[in-house]
Chain A
């Protein structure tokens, strides 16, 4: 397997509207890839195609070495997913959520127990293992949701705005978890609206109107546009008129 994600001319049309317009992306193994774009740029549609929730109209995509269209079951076993909405069950305890996802991904009872302990220990949440998830603070929930998405040790994990509404300290802890996962070889494909987070990525792409308008390392992108931050790169690409007015 050369690349963890290989996307070629991936397209999705809804009627006459082209939400995703022939995008091509390669993401390497163990890379943290930031997938940026304004609301409505087509990010969510692109992710849905990559994780098999939506069929592409054209082009192709391979995730973890398997074609998303023809080998979707192989893809599903090897990916983790955390959506922008909270993805655990509020009326189950932490341990019950872990048992559920472990079971769904076909882990043995023993694996579920040892990995569950490891996970809870790592988060420092062992003492709340039997607490209903609904009673936990949001930051804890998001960290737990990420750990649960990593429980079956996926090759690629997709995070769709994982830190929305989370306080800065917890966001930082969250990104430490992302780095730790990447250092163990998991590819991380993450969307965010926080531009400081975009700076943490190995590489990133910025989507505008269904196309990838720019792609590269944060340093390379800043150099290319001659600006000091990814925030400015983003504003120039995503809202050219506003940038022109502000920049004079």
Chain B
């Protein structure tokens, strides 16, 4: 017997798999809405950028310069001056009751030091009970001061200064936030969310659906049939790949509509990379299902083995560089770590294959290794 029916057989299998997915309406709706819900939730709730910063100013001896600096802050949309005092002692109770986020302490004689060209002393104190927002607020406040200083210099050059400033060369720290100049955290989250959703749909759903067949005994029937292991795996995976595509597009559209997240690179490249990443997840899900005994174990294993690393070790929330060294090494094994670099590169920097080939190569190698392992353990664990 030749095999004219081989693709016919695969087709029949894919149709069956699609029917399973379409028939389970509740799961389908949840899976389709997840990217939307996640983008919106993460985008609004877990933003680390800060908008309304409450500023306390300690200005023991107000002069032209210190008033100008205060005006500069009150004119900035991110800052709101909530208190102005003359003693630093007033700060502690203020911080304790959570009345201010950042304090600016101006040493007496600001105008004088500016005119003389000696060091002007300013201190920034921030409430770092949340370290992330704490340092972000510091950064914003420094940026305001640097901006003011730069304008003063410019005025001194053109001679239009209202405040006397020595034409001394001041060292100016240039702080620029590349690619995400406004420090929008949502821009960083969206690529991570795409990875998370793809992991959920590919790794977890395949693991569940395959282990369900195993548990019910239908897998045995399939294995006794002329279908080959690769056909069973491809048939299982193909419909979820479609679902994964739908999810990526939903996440992108939601990010663009709700948060104005930029998209600078090639959509084709992004979809192709997503397909590659989804395949890695699908292979991983297959492997998990083949190695575990029940649906419940498969679900727990895929949760621990894919979702957690994707959230914690991928650079999605915590930068890889800030992880302890052993975890940094482990993070190299997490597919999402590479995928997120790719998505951020494409979306925020408009990077192309030339820039991302290393990450793409890593994912391809992972895919091959996992696929071979999945098909093997599938064959070995027939029973």
Contact = CB atoms under 8 A, between A and B. Distances in A.
A54 B16 CA distance: 26
B87 interface: no
Contacts of A103: 5, 8-9, 11-13, 15
Interface in B213-238: 216-218, 220-228
Contact of B221 (A48, A54, A81): A81
A113 interface: no
Contacts of A51: 224
Interface in B42-87: none
B216 A106 contact: no
Contacts of B222: 104
Interface in B1-20: 1, 3-6, 8-9, 11-13, 15-16, 19-20
B20 A89 contact: yes
A55 B77 CA distance: 73
A81 B219 CA distance: 12
B216 A85 contact: yes
A194 interface: no
Contact of B9 (A84, A88, A104): A104
B220 A96 contact: no
A85 B222 CA distance: 13
A102 B15 CA distance: 13
B2 to A, nearest CB: 10
Nearest to A74: B1
Given A48-B383, A77-B1, A89-B20, A104 B227 contact: yes
Contacts of A99: 12, 15
A89 B16 contact: yes
Interface residues of B, number: 30
Q: Is the interface of B mostly helix, strand, loop or mixed?
A: helix
B172 interface: no
Interface in A101-121: 101-107
A154 to B, nearest CB: 10
Interface in A12-31: none
Contacts of A101: 225
Nearest to A100: B16
A52 B9 CA distance: 19
Most buried by A among B3, B23, B226: B226
B225 A86 contact: no
A27 B3 CA distance: 29
A44 B132 CA distance: 60
Given A100-B16, A105-B5, A106-B4, A83 B217 contact: yes
Given A81-B221, A83-B221, A100 B13 contact: yes
Contact of A53 (B1, B4, B5, B383): B383
A104 B226 contact: yes
Nearest to A89: B218
A92 B216 contact: no
A79 B220 CA distance: 14
B89 interface: no
Contacts of B227: 104
B223 A96 contact: no
B382 interface: yes
A82 to B, nearest CB: 8
B20 to A, nearest CB: 6
Contact of A105 (B23, B217, B218, B226): B226
A106 B8 contact: yes
Nearest to B4: A106
Interface string A43-83: 00000100111100000000000000000011011010101
7 nearest CB pairs, A to B: A103-B12, A106-B5, A85-B217, A81-B224, A53-B382, A87-B221, A100-B16
Interface of B: 1, 3-6, 8-9, 11-13, 15-16, 19-20, 23-24, 216-218, 220-228, 382-383
Given A73-B226, A76-B226, A104-B225, 8 more contacts: A79-B224, A83-B217, A83-B221, A87-B218, A91-B24, A103-B8, A104-B12, A106-B4
17 contacts: A53-B382, A85-B216, A86-B217, A87-B218, A87-B221, A89-B218, A91-B19, A99-B12, A100-B12, A100-B13, A103-B8, A103-B13, A104-B12, A104-B227, A105-B226, A106-B5, A106-B9
Interface of A: 48, 51-54, 73-74, 76-77, 79, 81, 83-89, 91-92, 96, 99-107
